[in-house]
Structure 1
Amino acid sequence: MKSIALLLLFHVTGTILYGQQLTWKISPQADTKAHAADIATAGFNDNDWVPGIVPGTVFYAYVKAGKESDPDYAENIYKVDKAKYNRPFWYRTEFAAPRLKNNQRLWLKFNGINKYATIYLNGKLLGSLHGHMQRGIYDVTDLLKSKNAIGVLIAPPKWDPDHDHPLANWESPTYICSGSWDWMPAVPGLNSGITDTVALTVSGPVTISDPWVRAVMPDTNSATLHIAAQLTNSSPVAISGKLKAVITPGNITISSTPVTLAPGTHQEISLPQQLLQHPHLWWPNGYGDQFLYSCKLSFETATTVTQNFGVRKVSSDTTALNGPMRLYINNVPILVKGGNWGMSDYMLKVRDKDYEPRIRMHQDMHFNMIRNWTGEVTDNAFYEYCDKYGIMVWDDFWLNNIGGIDSLQMFSDNVVEKLKKLRNHPSIVIWCGANEGTPGSNAHGDISNAITTAIKQYDADDKLYLPRSNASVDNPNFSIHGSSKVLSGSGIWANVAPKVYFTDPHNGYLFSNNSWGMRSELGTATFVNVESFKKFMPKEFWVAPTPEAVNSKDNMWARHFFCTDFGLGGGADPVKYINDINQQYGPSLSLEDFCKKAQLLNLETMKAMFEGWNDHM
């Protein structure tokens, strides 16, 4: 058994002065003739600009402003002029300067922009970002005026006339399904915008950032804590002191040796190791409590940083089940149950507390894992609620099974940022290189090496790493025939007779017979209830679907991915789904009748999936 352990922290808190209270406006660059320096100057006339949503996307801001019809309804999203949004946009906002005390600094912090950004303050260039995970952290103290303006010029993915290529994987790192997948339409603007938080924070001359706390656990009776953080001295003089951590409960104080920070420098400081006897453990849902400790980090003249963390040990083997991987938390084998999240929302409009009921519903259903498919969810709130409710996260990087990437450097920079931002969440138990293939189709190529090297340096192998989501690295594509059965494949995605899940869950991708065990994808068509259906389908379609109706690439059923074409939901075999409902429960006489019977088939199929797997564990 390969054992790995970690103690993870989350929810770094600081003195947030503004954050989401900033009022943003947006406008296409092509419609704005002014120079960047003028746009990023207080008093610039933006009266005819559209209110922005931060965090959010350009397209969703226009939807909220009433400039576009409801994209969820009918075929509205297909009627949008995509060229209107697949181009650069300006974001701008103004703020009054806070009253700073002696030696205090003001920081402007961007946590993520999709996909390229050039950032200005008061007419001055601050810097640029590339990739949707990269952060921009700027000391703006010396640029402040009584009234200040921020200007951000963002460009979407594929904004490169010299490269006419698909979004996946060439434009990674980005939200690769924004260009359409077999379950969602293309989003105008490809979900470009300031897609994560922006904050103005006040600090002392020294700042504490990127804290990293992990544990080495030979067993669950003790944990050796490893704590590190970066210290930055923004002042013109050297500053000396000790980095201190106070852990509660227990009131455990850990201090570094004396440190001297030269002016304008930063250092990574590691604290002495600390033995924690009989720690309270963090458990997945259904296996115990999600206990969280508190850690306070401090340094002379620095703003104190407080965070919570959970202690738990992750391990796995491929012997207990004679092939497929078995996951252990705190040395206890876990029957992994849950679902894939392709996105939180296809327009990225789920934010902050919106995640709470969604994650809590997983807990209520006795699930214990969510797979963050191709890393499409990037919000910290998602991980915080998974920490709280005991939902483990299988976290992919931004790669599908085939295709290279346009910039290895950009990809590598964003891998590092993802690890630094998210490594401290106890819910994350698996990093995965790519969906249904290895990164760059080579488990030892440049893209794979960029991921594994970064994990080793910035996460210390504290989680499992799977290069491929459905099989071993030496298996042929879409097949588990090979030297190992670490994972049992992916699919099927159409409903089948319940007995199939108990007897032979193979599918048309050459997966071997009797292939139970850890599997990242298994699903079925799942028709919604009638109340939901009527919110997005026009009244003339309020009828029970027929096999003939879904056998079209051009009608309203296809627009909402209930269609026999594989690129429009055909992998879920809607004809079989319709026929099985009518054969098992009688012909549907109305939409209401079909929706009611669909819930019965949904339940029967979903129960069989989990019970069939449980029967072979």
Structure 2
Amino acid sequence: MHTTLTSLLGLGLSAIAATANAAALVSAPGQAAVIPKWDLESTAKAGSDLTALSQTGVNTASWHHVNESKCTLMGCLIAAGVYNDSQLFYSDNLASVDANQFLVPWLYRQEFTLDPAPGKHYFLQTHGVTSRADIYLNGKQVADKSFQTGAYGGHVYDITSLAAAANALVIRAYPTSYYYDFALGWVDWNPWPADNGTGVWRDVEVKQTGSVALGPLRVVTGLSPQLGKQPANVTLKAKATNLEKTAITVSASGSVVLEAGGEPLVWSKLVTIPPLTTTDIILTNTVQKPSIWWPKQWGDQPLYKANLTVTTADGALSDVAASTFGFRTVTSQVNSFNDTLFTVNGQPFQVLGGGYAPDMFLRWDAKKWETEAQYTLNVGFNTVRLEGKNEHLEFFETADRLGLMVLAGWECCDKWEAWSYNNDLAVATPVWTAADYVTANASMIHEASMLQTHPSVMAYLVGSDYWPDDTAAPMYVNALKAADWQMPVITSASKRSYAPILGPGGMKMDGPYDWVPPNYWYDTEPSADRLGAAFGFGSEQGAGVGTPDLSSLKKFLSQSDLDDLWKNPDKDLFHMSSATSSFHNRKIYNTALWKRWGSPSSLEDYVLKAQITDYEANRAEFEGFAALWNAKRPATGVIYWMLTGAFPSLHWNIWDYYQHPAGGYFGAKVGSRVEHVAYDYVHKSVYLINRSLDKQGARTLDVQVVDTTGKVTYSTTTKLTTTPNTSKSILSLTSALSNIKDVVFIRLVLSDTATSTVISRNVYWVAKAIDTLDWPNSEWYVTPVTKYSDYTALNKLATANVSITASPATTNNKTGPGGVKCSTTGTTTVVTLENLSSVPAFFITLNLVDSAGKDVLPLTWTDNYVTLLPKEKISVSVSALPGAAAPVAVLARGKNIPKATVILS
């Protein structure tokens, strides 16, 4: 051992002295600090003598040095410059990464300083290491791989007896198998990373306390039915552990105050804790005028700070537990159709959202998530679902602040659902052992304690495709109860069966996951064989769209890859799902595109037709669910598959990996408007939709039907009254659409009658016949189409003359090619489009670019991918979000307008 230590301690005593003289990582009771960075190396190179490697002064100069507090092996190596993600994601380069290097454990190592003394206690806190880990500190083992296991296996280790002035921590992370470990797997979402997500993907912390240590703070609220008008109860709870061999009496003090400011509510009591025992400290009080937290589309998001502190008899602070919370209630029930219906603050809440995917390498970027949350709300969604991708504390803090609801839960198709009755597993995964239940229980305890106070959290799904067995289900329930969980607990996201302790889950998972036509969603009867159509609660479903626009495609596809998109429509593609997936090509999607629109004449033609297809598909799905909110069998919610992509993907996203919104984004945005009018493709009727709690009164609906030559074939104006949180059929267009020659455009404009302000404008292209669905031969992922709608007439539209200008009006406008004028003020550009022609201008897309001609991202548009009827004029605006480059031009193109580029002044 002496020889080994001599070789390892290459830095000598000077390095040890430098560490000892550094500022202590934590220096006060109640303080916790994250291990800020890591030295990383494979055990194949560094060896496995953790006793020696966890001594201070080890020479790690040859190791990888990662300035990140948390990262998987691939994420760490990218951060260290070994790999470049732009290169990895280009074409199929990701497949060339040597996966064999990750078949052995890897080491995460860091040194830090503490200031140990009598009465000071130190703890090491983990939040999950994938797949499992041995932990050593200062030459001694803290935990082994049989206990520190699972991606969500968070634990607290008392390291007081091991702490020194200079400390060395080593974590040995073992290789991960998605099928045999409790990990964050990808199933068929995308190609798998070479490391299978192995490593310290969540923060590791060191905490200092006095003689009494507190566990996580739980906050229990009690609201009266008269929200905000009557007092609300608030209870602060935390487990307190006496770390000494004598009884200790502490003063436990609670405080609650609005983050925005105000007079804090402070109260306290004395608590005596027997030696070396743990007790629950409970402090209850009343907030006289509580401010109520609402989802963004329904109100404000006032947050409260809560603190619970314990001080000893001499007045010394021993520990602090803190969190933010909001006053709100969430409930769920299963209606007579066995469909789940949520309520928020007593109001029926129709869930419209998408399935979130983290980065493929589980890299955390708070700014990126902030943008994605803003995009989600800009689209009109109110919820995201996390299928086993519960992310980090910052994720939920952002959702709290922005008013975005979150459906959290475990994932499908791997170890998490390795039940004897699950016949869908890709491998013969063994059923759980006794140790597996211990890991799963620790995971539930940790996630419950992390999520419990967050008002954005709507429910926890303890199963995805399958329900937990009769041992796991009560274990999960008990863990959630112990954490004072106040949100619904749902047995699974499908209706296969359920755990008796939880009852029916009330959610369907019947697809589709690949392309279906827009009439699919409205074809709801008989519901027994209408699968994902707009009724009930669809926990994950979509039309398999999400084609990035051409500027994004060129970032990750080679020329041959781009050629394959339109020249080899049935070919397997790397940037789809995993190679073993049913979704490894675009065959179903492309068959529809070719049949409905004709063979593409070029890559640009293919991409434009794909954007039209994506827009139409997403708009119809979300309009269908919003329109049938009050149907005989209500559409109570839908989670779109998916919201985001884990890497640059050719499908399954609302916006692409580069955060460029394209056709699918804007179709979803139109379909998810808070106030809206929508066309039902099956019944040829118009629905009035109101998803607000406060918008009501007189409305005016203007309807026009125009053929491909610009001739108006039908026009009407209808006076309406709208009611909050309702939808209803208001007008039949059956006779107006009885004599379609080839294709017509339907424009629906909803206005506030009193002010004439346009609330919603929507244009549809409708063929002579809708697509014919073959419901009896549906697969779990798609319903076949036996006859396709014919939109080829739109390939022959006469060229439209469209004036596109931008203002503010007081600034100088500059005319560029194509007669387009625009200007900007700050980061916002207002673009006005006017169709000067007698023919419709179909599917005009606008893109903001910088001085290098690259997309200005991130940004939000009020509308885009728009169609103008003859002589019609509209305005849209675009705002560059923080971090975006300065815009210098607007690019415009469309199905029947010339391309135009305008330099902004």
Q: Which TM-score band applies after superposition, normalised by the shorter structure?
A: 0.7 to 0.9
Which is further off, 181-190 or 68-77? 68-77
Query: Distance in 1 between the 2:472 and 2:280 partners?
Result: 27
Residue in 2 aligned with 1:126?
A: 142
Matches for 1:339-418 after TM superposition, within 5 Å = 339-341=354-356, 343-373=357-387, 375-400=388-413, 402=422, 404-406=431-433, 407-418=436-447
Q: 1:388 to 1:513 in 2, by over 3 A?
A: closer
Which is further off, 191-200 or 74-83? 74-83
Matches for 1:30-69 after TM superposition, within 5 Å = 30-33=44-47, 35-52=49-66, 53-68=68-83
Q: CA deviation at 1:607?
A: 1.0
SS in 2 for 1:413: helix
Contact 2:332 2:340 in 1 (8 A): yes
Which is further off, 138-147 or 291-300? 138-147
Query: Distance in 1 between the 2:34 and 2:333 partners?
Result: 44
Query: Distance in 2 between the 1:614 and 1:593 partners?
Result: 32
Contact 1:59 1:85 in 2 (8 A): no
Q: 1:505 to 1:377 in 2, by over 3 A?
A: farther
1:252 corresponds to which of 257, 260, 265: 265
Deviations 1:581-609 (A, max 9, x none): 34555543333332233222222111111
Root-mean-square deviation (CA), in Å? Answer: 3.0
Q: CA deviation at 1:436?
A: 2.0
Residue identity in the other structure for 2:134: T
Residue in 2 aligned with 1:86?
A: 103
Deviations 1:22-55 (A, max 9, x none): x311112232236211100111122211224431
Q: CA deviation at 1:466?
A: 1.6
Deviations 1:463-506 (A, max 9, x none): 1122120226269xxxxxxx979224332122322122122399
SS in 2 for 1:535: helix
Q: CA deviation at 1:263?
A: 4.5
Residue in 1 aligned with 2:583?
A: 569
Deviations 1:187-238 (A, max 9, x none): 2221111111122333333332211111233523443323211223335654
Contact 2:490 2:505 in 1 (8 A): no
Query: Distance in 1 between the 2:308 and 2:534 partners?
Result: 48
Contact 2:31 2:209 in 1 (8 A): no
Q: 1:188 to 1:157 in 2, by over 3 A?
A: same
SS in 2 for 1:434: coil
Residue in 2 aligned with 1:593?
A: 605
Query: Distance in 2 between the 1:515 and 1:597 partners?
Result: 25
Residue in 2 aligned with 1:157?
A: 176
Residue identity in the other structure for 2:281: I
1:450 corresponds to which of 475, 478, 499: 475
Residue identity in the other structure for 1:346: M
Determine which structure has the larger helix proportion and give its number: 1
Q: 1:17 to 1:512 in 2, by over 3 A?
A: closer
Q: CA deviation at 1:86?
A: 2.8
SS in 2 for 1:588: coil
SS in 2 for 1:224: strand
Residue identity in the other structure for 2:507: L
Residue identity in the other structure for 2:360: Y
Q: CA deviation at 1:548?
A: 4.0
1:291 corresponds to which of 278, 302, 305: 302
Q: CA deviation at 1:110?
A: 2.2
SS in 1 for 2:297: coil
Residue in 2 aligned with 1:190?
A: 196
Residue in 2 aligned with 1:95?
A: 112
Residue in 2 aligned with 1:493?
A: 513
Contact 2:522 2:624 in 1 (8 A): yes
Matches for 1:198-277 after TM superposition, within 5 Å = 198-219=204-225, 220=227, 221-235=230-244, 237-249=246-258, 250-256=263-269, 258-271=270-283, 273-277=284-288
SS in 2 for 1:473: coil
Query: Distance in 2 between the 1:44 and 1:458 partners?
Result: 41
Q: 1:505 to 1:578 in 2, by over 3 A?
A: farther
Query: Distance in 2 between the 1:64 and 1:275 partners?
Result: 48
Q: Structure 2 unaligned runs (5+)?
A: 1-27, 312-316, 426-430, 630-905
Residue identity in the other structure for 1:175: L
Contact 1:25 1:50 in 2 (8 A): yes
Matches for 1:471-550 after TM superposition, within 5 Å = 471=495, 473=497, 486-504=506-524, 516-523=535-542, 524-543=544-563, 545-546=565-566, 548-550=568-570
Contact 1:108 1:138 in 2 (8 A): yes
Residue identity in the other structure for 1:387: D
Deviations 1:125-177 (A, max 9, x none): 2223111212233344443444321111111234xxxxxxxx34x42x21132
TM-score (norm 2): 0.58
1:282 corresponds to which of 288, 293, 297: 293
Q: CA deviation at 1:322?
A: 5.1
1:309 corresponds to which of 322, 325, 349: 325
- Kindly name which structure, 1 or 2, has the bigger radius of gyration based on alpha carbons: 2
Query: Distance in 2 between the 1:358 and 1:307 partners?
Result: 24
Q: CA deviation at 1:354?
A: 3.0
Contact 1:353 1:381 in 2 (8 A): no
Residue in 2 aligned with 1:328?
A: 343
Residue identity in the other structure for 1:465: V
Q: 1:92 to 1:537 in 2, by over 3 A?
A: same
SS in 1 for 2:329: strand
Deviations 1:527-552 (A, max 9, x none): 11222222222222222614844344
1:25 is aligned to 2:39: yes
1:338 is aligned to 2:353: yes
Which is further off, 135-144 or 225-234? 135-144
Q: CA deviation at 1:611?
A: 0.5
SS in 2 for 1:518: strand
Q: Structure 1 unaligned runs (5+)?
A: 1-12, 159-166, 476-482
- Identity in percent: 22
Residue identity in the other structure for 2:58: F
Query: Distance in 2 between the 1:17 and 1:592 partners?
Result: 54
Deviations 1:310-361 (A, max 9, x none): 0111123334x855222110111112111012x3111101333332111121
Residue in 2 aligned with 1:463?
A: 487
Q: How many residues align?
A: 564
Query: Distance in 2 between the 1:44 and 1:568 partners?
Result: 49
Determine which structure has the larger strand proportion and give its number: 2
List 4+ stretches of structure 1 deviating above 6 A.
Answer: none
SS in 2 for 1:345: coil
SS in 1 for 2:351: coil
Q: CA deviation at 1:409?
A: 1.8
1:420 is aligned to 2:429: no
Contact 1:344 1:377 in 2 (8 A): no
Residue identity in the other structure for 1:416: I
Contact 2:219 2:452 in 1 (8 A): no
SS in 1 for 2:216: strand
1:610 is aligned to 2:622: yes
TM-score (norm 1): 0.84
Residue identity in the other structure for 1:80: V
Query: Distance in 1 between the 2:360 and 2:244 partners?
Result: 44
